[in-house]
Structure 1
Amino acid sequence: MRRGNSRIHGIPKMCPWTLQPPAGSGGNSCSTVRHTGLQAGARCRFTGPHWRNGDMARPLMTDQRGVALLVVLSVIAVLTALAAELNTREVAQMDAAAWNRDRVRLQGMTSAAVQAGMALLIADRIETETDSVQEDWADPAVLEGLVEGLGYTEGILTLKIIDELGKLQVNALIQEYPGHAVNAVQRGIWENLLGFVISHDKSEDARDPAEIINAIIDWLDAGDDDRITGISGAESDYYASLDPPYACANGAVRHLSTLYRIKGVTPDLFNPTGILSDLLGEEMAALMEMPALSDYLTVWGEEPLKAGGGYRFDGRVNINTADPAVIAAILPFGKEDAAAALADYRIARQEAGGAFVNALGNGWYKAEADLTTREAEQTEAKIRYASDVFRIEAVAGWDQTGIKESVIIKRETDKDGKWVCRMLSRTLERADAPAPPDETALP
């Protein structure tokens, strides 16, 4: 070794010595040095010599700075992730607060619309004893004007009233509850409807109307007795074998969604693969493609029995408001083709003034459907001309936020003989904000 500038070969200044490369090293310098002394004349020795051609040993301070930089970058990354998470939570809390604020406003709007709908139904019952698609509560233009009269200048509000007794009463398949006896008339209507919807060609549609009806009956009737429907039905042992298992209700259905738990009932139950489009016409069938269960079915209409504490469902359908597919199922065999014509008959209007052309009094359908006396008698046992159970739907929208209020009411008289609407059910749910009315659309 010889005395010299310790910076030449990367040795810290505190060491007064430099290293003389060994002979034959070609002038290479050492890159790994450990100091054993700091006084003048102290020796330095190599630890694990590693020779690099022409390179200087990296200063120790530079390595420390690199580690510090990595630590700083790591801390910044953690803080950035934390800030992003806090921002996400803050935005979610702000959205929730905005939704709660808007919900109060929108719920006030829908409640006002529902009350207006109830008042309209009461006024209708005072004026007339029948219910039909010709009345104000079924007229979209009248309902739109009713909503505008509520005075809401901000947001969008819509109102719709639906006759629940213009549909098939699911629970009417059993004559009374609790009980086993099947209502043969109602079963016949179901057979007609599913026969129209489901193709008889099993290569096109493997569903079996009889199996579906039997499974529904088994779900409704009391106990687990296979004698009613035979092996094509489904009692508790079938549902217990499913994963996850559940019990057969053996009683009336209270919510339409419960039907999806019954063997064979699916959301596309009324997806028309059969002759329904032929019965209703191509244009009308296209409008009703893939109907929901609620388009044809209802769980409402319960009536208490006079004795015994049980209850029943009348099952008669309001022909003045029923969907054309339901009308086709009610008509006698061979007369189902008249369903579309009857639906058109109900809504025919004069060109001048727009008044309805045809009155919908008792028996109005008989001549239009060309029924015999016997066929008319059979049909009369299945239908009604007035209703007392309605669904009122109000949807309010504000700044891309919407809420839907659905109410089931029964129109009846109170103890003083005044007509009132008694609420049977009420649901609130988030919904898409309704679209503003198209002012350019023709009526």
Structure 2
Amino acid sequence: MALHESIAQSDPLHAWIWPAEPESPQTGRGGHAGGDDFGGSNSDGLAERRRSPGGTAHFQSESQSQPTGRAGQSESPPRTESFRMRIVLQARPRGIALVIVMMVIVVLGVLAADFALSMKVETKLAKNVDSESDLEWLGRSGVEYARWILAQQLNCPNEPYDSLSQAWAGGPGGPCSTNGPLADVEREVHLGNGSFTWKIIDLERKVNINFANRQMIQQALDSMGVDRFDVDTVLDSIEDWRDPDSHPHVNGAESDYYLNLPRPYVAKDGPFDDLSELLLVRGITPEIFWGPGGANRSRPTGRSAAGIGAGSLDSTFAYGLADLFNTLGRLQININTASVGVLQLLPGIDRNLAEGIVKLRAGLDDVDGTDDDTPFHSPGELINVPGMIPTFVSQLSRYAAVRSFTFEVQVDVTKDQYQRRLVALLFRNGPRDVQVLNMHWE
């Protein structure tokens, strides 16, 4: 019996096969009569299993189902022993299959989403590769188109000047733009599946900082409204930055000053390659460099404010050095395209004379770049400006001109949903000589 119970505990299947029998008082072993190995008076010792209508399994010995057949002995009352099976079922967790299926579905969904995203990225990259070549050629086409426009402008004998009313500057154009090749100039050009727009800016409308003398820079700072003490610091520091020696001016700075800053660097001691280098010069703040809104712009080095007065930090200037200077172009500025602020940098020109120059060239509507513009044909025509002193006119010929030679071209290309800008620098020597100095993508 102990063997049966141990089997029932370890294996539910044997628990169904081996019933748990009560222990007999005569034999001491359940179901074993007379000391037989298999119990009962029958040699086989097998019990008949019956199933009750209620589904309960019972075992009945053969001695009850058949008479003993022994003579001279009274039949004892039949002994009925019913045994109920002990079925031990192990508890099984429910819902595990559903959890496994849900986990598999989630994993497959994540893999499918990752695969779809990868395919989308790969497809977009492939399209970008195909579009990159098209965008490149669209940009180069825009640069060539600008070169052709600038060359054709020099072929106009009736327009010996460059002004904002001409086709290259986006104006309506003069006689050559109505009766010549420039009559069909388009602002937006479509090529294949793409298009480009162009914009040409002459660089002689500003003063080259590398050619500007001390008086020009001082005039720029004074017209902006920079404090006098700060003006001396900026002037000397600019001179120390671009001169080849390492000897500082009284209010300037050389490498020994810049090397002691939190982020040290050395003075260039050479010409400015990019106008943003001014932000590295002692005394020049973003407000001085950019003008209005300069305080909201990022401060690239965090060191340009060193050594300046507190008044400049709180001032709002009418414009900044970036509106007046560049690092390209010739010494002479174009009086047909220069702004009022740039014209004030010319010797002897104050704000009133500068505004008179702009008003005279703008025509009756006082707006540059319209049909009624009257550009200057030569610097000598400045004598017609009200209040102009004749002696100033002779002095201005050194710094003023009516032609531009250096141009910046901005070409915005579009193909499908892709847009890029190509910037090129052109130098025009003549109708057949318009050189591309450099190009880069923004």
Which category of TM-score, normalised to the shorter sequence, fits these structures? Answer: 0.5 to 0.7
The higher radius of gyration belongs to 2
Please state if 1:270 is matched with 2:301: no
Q: Is the 8 A contact 1:349 1:357 kept in 2?
A: no
Alpha-carbon offset, residue 104 of structure 1: 2.5
Q: Which runs of no fewer than 5 residues in structure 2 stay unpaired?
A: 1-8, 22-87, 174-181, 294-316
2:351 to 336, 351, 357: 336
Output the CA distance in 1 between the equivalents of 2:344 and 2:89.
93
Report the AA paired with residue 415 of structure 2: W
2:92 to 49, 54, 61: 61
Alpha-carbon offset, residue 167 of structure 1: 0.7
Output the CA distance in 2 between the equivalents of 1:367 and 1:214.
37
2:170 to 139, 164, 178: 139
Report the AA paired with residue 141 of structure 2: A
- Give the structure 2 partner of residue 196 of structure 1: 223
1:119 to 141, 144, 148: 148
Moved more, 136-145 or 191-200: 136-145
Q: Is the 8 A contact 2:408 2:426 kept in 1?
A: yes
Alpha-carbon offset, residue 160 of structure 1: 1.4
Report the AA paired with residue 353 of structure 2: A
Other structure's SS at 1:62 match: coil
Report the AA paired with residue 269 of structure 2: N
**Any idea what the Cα deviations from partners look like across 1:94-137, whole Å, max 9, x if unmatched?**
33333333333233233222212212222222435432324332
Report the AA paired with residue 395 of structure 1: D
Alpha-carbon offset, residue 322 of structure 1: 0.9
Output the CA distance in 2 between the equivalents of 1:252 and 1:74.
68
Moved more, 104-113 or 157-166: 104-113
Output the CA distance in 1 between the equivalents of 2:245 and 2:437.
28
Distance 1:98 1:362, change over 3 A: same
**Any idea what the Cα deviations from partners look like across 1:364-421, whole Å, max 9, x if unmatched?**
23332512233334433332222221112221223332121211111125xxxx7311
- Give the structure 2 partner of residue 161 of structure 1: 200
Alpha-carbon offset, residue 164 of structure 1: 0.8
- Give the structure 2 partner of residue 217 of structure 1: 239
Please state if 1:326 is matched with 2:355: no
Moved more, 145-154 or 316-325: 145-154
Other structure's SS at 1:191 match: helix
Q: Is the 8 A contact 1:220 1:250 kept in 2?
A: yes
- Give the structure 2 partner of residue 426 of structure 1: 439
Output the CA distance in 1 between the equivalents of 2:108 and 2:258.
53
Report the AA paired with residue 424 of structure 1: L
Alpha-carbon offset, residue 255 of structure 1: 2.5
Identity across the alignment (%): 22
2:138 to 67, 87, 109: 109
**Any idea what the Cα deviations from partners look like across 1:268-322, whole Å, max 9, x if unmatched?**
423149xxxxxxxxxxxxxxx9868654322123xxxxxxxxxxxx532222211
Output the CA distance in 2 between the equivalents of 1:129 and 1:166.
17
Alpha-carbon offset, residue 259 of structure 1: 3.4
Please state if 1:368 is matched with 2:407: no
Output the CA distance in 1 between the equivalents of 2:352 and 2:339.
14
- Give the structure 2 partner of residue 130 of structure 1: 161
Output the CA distance in 1 between the equivalents of 2:225 and 2:275.
20
- Give the structure 1 partner of residue 406 of structure 2: 389
Other structure's SS at 1:337 match: helix
Report the AA paired with residue 170 of structure 1: I
Please state if 1:237 is matched with 2:256: yes
Output the CA distance in 1 between the equivalents of 2:227 and 2:364.
38
Distance 1:140 1:354, change over 3 A: closer
TM-score using structure 2 length = 0.63
Distance 1:372 1:338, change over 3 A: closer
Distance 1:14 1:411, change over 3 A: same
Q: Is the 8 A contact 1:131 1:385 kept in 2?
A: yes
Report the AA paired with residue 142 of structure 2: A
Q: Is the 8 A contact 1:410 1:421 kept in 2?
A: yes
Distance 1:75 1:120, change over 3 A: same
Moved more, 384-393 or 362-371: 362-371
Distance 1:290 1:117, change over 3 A: farther
Q: Is the 8 A contact 1:197 1:272 kept in 2?
A: no
Report the AA paired with residue 252 of structure 1: P
- Give the structure 2 partner of residue 252 of structure 1: 271
Other structure's SS at 1:147 match: coil
Output the CA distance in 2 between the equivalents of 1:265 and 1:58.
89
Output the CA distance in 2 between the equivalents of 1:403 and 1:218.
39
Q: Is the 8 A contact 2:379 2:393 kept in 1?
A: no
Q: Is the 8 A contact 2:254 2:267 kept in 1?
A: yes
Other structure's SS at 1:329 match: coil
Q: Which runs of no fewer than 5 residues in structure 1 stay unpaired?
A: 1-9, 18-37, 43-56, 174-185, 202-206, 274-288, 302-313, 430-443
Q: Is the 8 A contact 1:144 1:158 kept in 2?
A: no
Q: Is the 8 A contact 2:187 2:197 kept in 1?
A: no
Output the CA distance in 2 between the equivalents of 1:70 and 1:210.
79
- Give the structure 2 partner of residue 297 of structure 1: 325
Report the AA paired with residue 205 of structure 2: G
Q: What is the root-mean-square deviation of aligned Cα atoms in Å?
A: 4.3
